């Protein structure tokens, strides 16, 4: 069984326990790397052609507007194929109760028939929100498994929890 770990992660300004903090590596990227360490697989970072604002508050406004408009921001690149993968971990920060809209763009690009999709997200208390239902809607022919929610402030300390969940998920 081959694993793919795709994720979007925000570096730089982030909301952490009530303050704006500059993160050299995004929380979702940290969790994605822990998954790779635990179960192996290919890491693939999703990014947008048009960067989000550096300022955290401005970024949240852009994200809210994208959600309101059901926008599909252009992804910088795609994998040639996902055919060789059985398990596809899909990671993202929870923005406004769901995934960043570029993750919708990315997921809609592929046929996930027969694939196991395993969602994970980082957040500051809102959990997975409605993202799992949205993934099921976007990828109706996939087997969407139970997701994992990691509080962003403890992402660096979540290695054992993430590894245990990832191993059970594949």
Taking only the tens place, the pLDDT of each residue in 131-146 is 999 999 999 999 999 9
**In this structure, what token pair is assigned to residue 75?**
């992804």
Band (pLDDT 50/70/90 cuts) for residue 98 is: very high
Q: Are 4 and 110 in contact (CB under 8 A)?
A: no
Return the closest-CA partner of residue 46 out of 92, 14, 96: 92
Instruction: Give the separation between CA 161 and CA 82, rounded to whole angstroms.
Output: 27
- Lowest-pLDDT range of 12-16, 22-26, 47-51, 158-162: 12-16
Return the closest-CA partner of residue 92 out of 142, 144, 127: 127
Domain count of the fold of the chain? 1
Check pLDDT > 90 for residue 16: no
Taking only the tens place, the pLDDT of each residue in 20-70 is 999 999 999 999 999 999 999 999 999 999 999 999 999 999 999 999 999
- Give the structural domain span for 143: 3-169
Q: Are 34 and 24 in contact (CB under 8 A)?
A: no
Band (pLDDT 50/70/90 cuts) for residue 160 is: very high
Return the closest-CA partner of residue 114 out of 142, 89, 145, 137: 142
**In this structure, what token pair is assigned to residue 47?**
């990014």
CATH of the domain at 102: 3.40.50.360
Quick one: pLDDT at residue 150?
97
């Amino acid at each position: 069984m081959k694993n793919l770990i795709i994720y979007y992660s925000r570096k730089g300004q982030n909301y952490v326990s009530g303050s704006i903090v500059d993160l050299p590596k995004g929380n979702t990227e940290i969790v994605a790397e822990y998954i790779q360490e635990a179960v192996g697989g290919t890491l693939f970072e999703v990014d947008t052609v048009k960067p989000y604002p550096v300022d955290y508050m401005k970024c949240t406004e852009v994200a809210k507007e994208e959600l309101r408009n059901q926008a599909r921001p252009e992804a910088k690149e795609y994998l040639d194929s996902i055919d060789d993968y059985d398990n596809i971990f899909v990671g993202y920060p929870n923005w406004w109760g769901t995934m960043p809209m570029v993750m919708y763009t990315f997921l809609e690009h592929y046929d996930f028939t027969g694939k196991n999709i395993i969602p994970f997200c980082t957040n500051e208390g809102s959990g997975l929100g409605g993202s799992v239902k949205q993934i099921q809607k976007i990828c109706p022919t996939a087997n969407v498994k139970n997701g994992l929610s990691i509080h962003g402030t403890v992402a660096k300390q979540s290695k054992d929890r993430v590894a245990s969940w990832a191993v059970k998920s594949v």
